[in-house]
Every structure is written in C-alpha cells, then in structure tokens.
C-alpha cells in the first residue's frame, strides 16, 4: 500500500509517467528527472537527476518513514484527518510489519489488499492512470465516516464468502471481513484481528469516499485470493519440503505468498502456530533468489537480520523477511537454518 499511494500522489502532482521496475538497468533507462521510491535503497548512488524517497536499508525502522510519507512531504500534501490517520497506519505497518497492530486499535489491513494487488500486476509503464487518479481523489477526500459505517465497505467481501470455509486460517482476513460487514469495530479489535493484523484501513475508506474505485478493488481482491488459493492448493498437494530441527523451515519451488501457505499448513494439521517456522518461496523480483518469511509471533526466535554472506540480497529492518540467492528453495532454507 505504501508504494501504491506514493505512486498516486506523484501522479497527482505532475509525474509524467509512473513505472514499476525492479532492476537497476531498467531504472537507469528512464530519461529525465526521476523519483525512485520503495526499492530505492539499492540505488543510493545515482546521478543527480534521481531523487530517492525510501526507507529500506536503515538499521532501525524508526530512522525514516516509508515512501508514502516521504512522497507526501515532498509534494506538500495537505490531508484531512481521517485519510491522514489511515495513511499513518499504512506507514507503521510498512515499517514495522504486523507488530504495528499492537498500536493500531481498530486500524489494520483489509481492503488494502485489493488495492495493492490490483496495482502489483502492473509492470513497466503503468498505463491505468485512471486508477491512480481515483486513488489520489481518495487521498485528498474530505469524506467523513464514523467507524461503524465501515461495515458498508466490508460488504464487498460477501462476493468471496465461499473461499473461507475449507481453509479458515488461509483466508482469515476474508473471514474477518465477512464478520466486519456486521460489526467492524468489535471485529477489528478482537484477538483474531490482532493476530492477523486485520482492521479498518485506507482501502475501506477509499471505496466509501470514491465509489468508482470499487471495481478496481474487487478485481484486486480476486487476484489476492487467487494467490492465497494457489498457496492452499500447493499445501493440499504436498508441493513443499519440511526441514525440521530446532527451527522448522518449509521450502517451495514456486512463487506463492508465504503467509497463506503457513496458514494452509496449519489448516491441514502439518504445522502448529506454536512451532517456530519460516517459509521459503521463490522470489518474484530477483532471478535465482528466494524469499524467506516468518510469522510475527516468532519474532523472538527467528530474526533474518542475523543472516550474513554474499548470498544475502535483502534483509528487512525488522527481521521478518529476507531474500537470499541459492540453488533451490531447500538449499536456501538450509543456509538460513545454519545461521539462525
């Protein structure tokens, strides 16, 4: 959500084009004055025509805000209280991960997944600038709503109700959204919401403030839940390797979202939530690399900031995520286990 809102703000404030790139050679091919955001730490040493607005690579997440806040400051954005509050929690969740739910009360992630998944499918030049226009309208909206009114936004989840039955943990956010369609505040401050990072978010605000965004969010949710379904199917088909030791690693030779995979393995009884486990899947951005992810509940046991060596491509400042190069997912898992 951080980079999606940053893109909308830059588009609203005069960016001639928005690109989604990952590789240095792609970024260096863009002509003119360029703002690099969300993956900018890899590109700190750039010609003067590049401005980097990013927080990756800091030792402490408190050192710098996320890209949406840095972009908002750069463009002089003046926001109304409710969208400003919701963007504040986008920033905290982006910097601190699910742990931010401890401070967020009723706020969290819900319909944000639909907005981000819609935008995530863009590669290269972002052609759907209408989506960015509508999202910017929501950022600058003066729409006001009491928290109970957000029940209306959560009714979008009713279109996907059948998915939550067989894999209740895998689709726990969907299950909570269905409950929040009746009572968003109570559900958003429940124990389940704390564990899942669920709550009222900017995406829910956006579809209420700018109704034209609804079909985009629905399309994004379809894609988001399709990814979660893919993870559940991989778990049900046994397309994974479990490496046991003092810690447990689950390795998959495919790019699937790690959190739904972890939850699906619990739905199937393969893992328990008390078992210190991390998930290894093929990385989407870096060829020959794998993403390592651990659930927030095991933060005290599994910290990827401990990983060292030339094969380490990226380590998140909070230690919940890393990207490493390896010959296979299982090899990446064993490399990490040896250091953790």
| Residue-averaged pLDDT of the chain | 93
pTM above 0.95, yes or no: no
Question: Strand, coil or helix: what is 34?
Answer: strand
Predicted confidence at residue 41, as pLDDT, reads 64
The pLDDT of residue 276 is above 90: yes
The pLDDT of residue 132 is above 70: yes
DSSP E strands, 103-170: 124-125
Domain edges within the chain: 2-230, 238-339
Predicted confidence at residue 308, as pLDDT, reads 95
Residue 195 CA to residue 189 CA, distance in Å, equals 10
Express each pLDDT in 286-324 by its tens digit.
889 999 999 988 999 999 999 999 999 989 888 999 999
The pLDDT of residue 22 is above 90: no
Asked which of 6-20, 91-105, 137-151 is least confident by mean pLDDT, the reply is 91-105
Name the residue among 117, 90, 126 with its Cα closest to residue 15: 126
Average of per-residue pLDDT across 158-162: 92
* Percentage of residues of the chain with pLDDT beyond 70: 99
Question: Strand, coil or helix: what is 240?
Answer: coil
Question: Could you tell me the pLDDT band of residue 262, with boundaries at 50, 70 and 90?
Answer: very high
Predicted confidence at residue 258, as pLDDT, reads 94
DSSP E strands, 136-258: 241-243, 248-251
Question: Could you tell me the pLDDT band of residue 176, with boundaries at 50, 70 and 90?
Answer: very high
Bridge partners of 35, per DSSP, are 51
* Percentage of residues of the chain with pLDDT beyond 90: 79
Residue 266 CA to residue 134 CA, distance in Å, equals 38
Predicted confidence at residue 70, as pLDDT, reads 96
Angle made by CA atoms 151, 153, 156, in degrees to the nearest 5: 110
Predicted confidence at residue 99, as pLDDT, reads 85
Predicted confidence at residue 42, as pLDDT, reads 66
Predicted confidence at residue 310, as pLDDT, reads 94
Express each pLDDT in 33-80 by its tens digit.
999 998 866 676 788 899 999 888 788 889 999 999 999 999 999 999
């Amino acid at each position: 959500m951080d980079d999606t809102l940053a893109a909308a703000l830059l588009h609203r404030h005069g960016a001639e084009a928005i690109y989604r790139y990952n590789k240095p050679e792609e970024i260096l091919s863009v002509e003119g004055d360029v703002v690099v955001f969300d993956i900018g730490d890899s590109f700190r040493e750039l010609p003067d025509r590049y401005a980097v607005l990013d927080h990756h690579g800091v030792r402490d997440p408190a050192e710098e805000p996320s890209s949406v806040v840095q972009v908002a400051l750069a463009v002089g954005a003046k926001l109304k209280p409710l969208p400003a509050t919701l963007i504040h929690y986008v920033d905290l969740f982006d910097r601190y991960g699910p742990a931010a739910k401890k401070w967020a009360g009723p706020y969290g992630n819900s319909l944000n997944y639909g907005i981000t998944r819609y935008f995530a499918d863009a590669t290269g030049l972002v052609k759907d600038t209408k989506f960015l226009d509508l999202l910017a309208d929501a950022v600058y909206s003066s729409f006001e709503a009491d928290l109970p009114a957000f029940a209306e936004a959560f009714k979008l989840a009713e279109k996907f109700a059948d998915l939550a039955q067989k894999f209740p943990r895998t689709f726990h956010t969907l299950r909570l959204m269905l409950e929040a369609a009746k009572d968003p505040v109570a559900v958003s401050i429940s124990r389940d919401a704390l564990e899942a990072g669920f709550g009222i978010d900017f995406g829910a605000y956006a579809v209420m403030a700018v109704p034209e965004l609804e079909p985009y969010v629905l399309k994004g949710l379809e894609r988001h839940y399709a990814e979660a379904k893919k993870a559940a199917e991989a778990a049900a088909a046994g397309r994974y390797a479990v490496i046991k030791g003092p810690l447990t690693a689950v390795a998959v030779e495919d790019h699937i979202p790690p959190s739904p995979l972890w939850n699906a393995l619990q739905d199937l009884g393969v893992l328990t939530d008390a078992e210190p486990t991390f998930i290894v899947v093929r990385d989407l951005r870096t060829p020959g690399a794998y993403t390592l992810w651990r659930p927030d509940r095991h933060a005290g046991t599994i910290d990827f900031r401990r990983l060292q060596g030339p094969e380490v491509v990226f380590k998140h400042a909070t230690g919940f995520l890393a990207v490493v190069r390896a010959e296979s997912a299982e090899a990446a898992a064993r490399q990490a286990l040896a250091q953790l």
